[in-house]
Amino acid sequence: MSIPLRIMIIGAHPDDCEFTAGGTAALWVARGDTVCFVSLTNGDAGHHEMGGGHLAQIRRTETNNVSRFFGVQYIILDNHDGALLPTLELRYQVIDMIRTFQPDLILSPRPNDYHPDHRYTAQVIQDAAYMVMVPNVRASVPSLRSNPVIAYVSDTFQKPLPFAPHVVVSIDTTATQKIAMLNCHVSQMYEWLPWIGGYLAEVPVEPDTRHRWLAARMDDRLRLDANRYRDMLCTRYGDARGNAVQYAEAFEGCEYGSALDAAAIERLFPF
């Protein structure tokens, strides 16, 4: 019997983890693995009509709903949204958090991204990677004996280098759970993101109707990795199943962590 995994998914904002890896997270939870979502900011700037402490409390409530309904742990650091920097203080916060949780795998955004909070989240994870094993750094929290595997979540940015996955996972069985996770983030899915994206007038009023609307709106996004990396899905699942996959999430190994080699893929993505 396999030993349960410990998976830490780190994003800059409440809802980042759900967007990037919610489907795979649900697969791990279904196996009995421990999954921890982390937001390095409290999300207090992500709205067009409210902000500050009031918004931060709303976003914490939304993440609590994700945790309660879907069996993931959730950590929110009390750093300001839109003001994240890869400081030594933040590095220490991340080192302590990683050492305390002791993950087998950490998922991270890549350092090239449109949002500075995303870029600096990636940077601080990289800065913490080796240091989690150094006993005299943050000596009050016992150091790890090995560096966790670190992998980047999928994106579409091309410069300086495009995303190049090492593993692609079918989330056909959990895509509805991923949408349901996002549906918990009412302030984002139905208010802030539609407003800044210019489609607020399209958002339905009734909760059931807007949940279906969100699923329809997200459909192309959820299909993107399956269509981009069809050959990898066929290699992983065989031609018949690989060609039938509709929704997928892809991950690229980060060389600052332990290697995401074939053995690590088999151990960490046993779906």
pLDDT value of residue 103? 98
pLDDT band at residue 32 using 50, 70 and 90 as cut-offs: very high
pLDDT tens for each residue of 123-173: 999 999 999 999 999 999 999 999 999 999 999 999 999 999 999 999 999
115: left (phi over 0), alpha (psi -120 to 50) or beta: beta
For strands 248-253 and 149-153, give the pairing: antiparallel
What is the rounded average pLDDT of the residues 199-211?
A: 96
Instruction: Write phi, then psi, for 190 (nearest 5 degrees).
Output: -115, 0
Residue 258 lies in a domain: yes
- The helix (H) or strand (E) run that includes residue 195 is helix 193-197
| Coarse DSSP helix, strand, coil percentages of the chain, rounded to the nearest 5 percent | 50, 15, 35
145 domain-assigned: yes
Q: How many residues does the chain have?
A: 271
CB-count burial class (<10 Å; 0-12, 13-18, 19+) for 66: buried
Amino acid at 196: I
In a domain, 192, yes or no: yes
Mean residue pLDDT of the chain comes to: 97
Residue 17 lies in a domain: yes
Tokens of 47: 């709205």
Q: State pLDDT tens for residues 229-263.
A: 999 999 999 999 999 999 999 999 999 999 999 99
pLDDT, residue 258, reads 97
CATH number, position 90? 3.40.50.10320
Q: Total domain count for the chain?
A: 1
Write the CA distances from 76 to 97, 180, 181, integer angstroms.
11, 20, 16
In a domain, 109, yes or no: yes
Task: For residue 198, give Cα distances in angstroms to 110, 194, 213, 214.
Answer: 26, 6, 16, 15
Q: CA-CA distance, 124 to 183, in Å (whole number)?
A: 29
The predicted pLDDT at position 72 comes to 97
Q: pLDDT band for position 69 (50/70/90)?
A: very high
DSSP 8-state code for residue 132:
G
Closest CA to 118 of 129, 107, 128: 107
Q: Is residue 167 part of a domain?
A: yes
Say what the pLDDT of residue 238 is: 98
Whole-angstrom Cα distance, residue 245 to residue 235?
Answer: 12
Q: Give the sign of the dihedral formed by CA 268, CA 156, CA 101, CA 71.
A: negative
The residue segments making up the domain with residue 108 are 6-268
pTM here is 0.97
213 found inside a domain: yes
Task: Quickly state the pLDDT bin for 19 (edges 50, 70, 90).
Answer: very high
Flag whether pLDDT at 1 surpasses 70.
no
| Residue 1 maps to a domain | no
Q: In this predicted structure, what is the pLDDT of residue 2?
A: 78
Query: Rounded distance, CA 89 to CA 198, Å?
Result: 37
How far lies 6's CA from each of 14, 28, 82, 102, in Å?
20, 9, 29, 7
pLDDT one-digit tens code per residue, 176-195: 999 999 999 999 999 999 99
Q: Does an H or E element contain 217, and which?
A: helix 207-228
Dist. CA 5–CA 108, nearest whole Å: 17
